[in-house]
Amino acid sequence: MMIQDQAHVGGTMLRGSGESIVDFLFAQRFTGSLALIEIKRPSTKLVEAKTFRGDLHAPHKDLTSAMAQVLDQRFQLLNNFAAKAHDPALKDTHVSAVHCIVIAGTAPATIQEKRSLDLFRHSSKDVAVITFDELLEKLHEILRLMTAGAAESAAPPQADPPADNSDLF
């Protein structure tokens, strides 16, 4: 469940500057675990255009910067949670396992770029990277499943076909 968009997670200096602000702060409804979601543009570059070492593409600095940003936001939240925990919006939440998610870019065009992105993002244990087209596909699939389930439950039950009893007589 969303707690707040543009959530201030900490880092303020004595003069009020330096506040770290995450795009969305969510809490898992059943456990209270928090999640930070940083959203970049669909045009965000995910891998470098030029290859190195054969057909491998390095992660683009826009992606690694976004990942560093959300990790710093988590650091700020962890350091400042005690001061912020009195906020009623944070009731029944905790920072034992704060999830970090970056939504950025779109799936690369070539198989080599896709492979390079997957190698990089799946090696990151602390930040989940999701592209906009992957997110859209997930939402379409949820909608498809929900509407299919609704259609099935709204349809009248089918009667069993009559039994062929011709061999009984």
Reported as a single tens digit per residue, the pLDDT across 106-121 is 999 999 999 999 999 9
- Whether the pLDDT of residue 59 is over 90: the answer is yes
As given in the structure block, the two tokens for residue 96 are 């034992």
At residue 83, the pLDDT reads 85
The sign of the torsion formed by the CA atoms of 140, 5, 19, 85 equals negative
- Per-residue pLDDT of 77-136, as tens digits, reads 999 998 888 888 899 999 999 999 999 999 999 999 999 999 999 999 999 999 999 999
- Write the DSSP assignment of 41-53 as a string of letters: -TT---EEEEEET
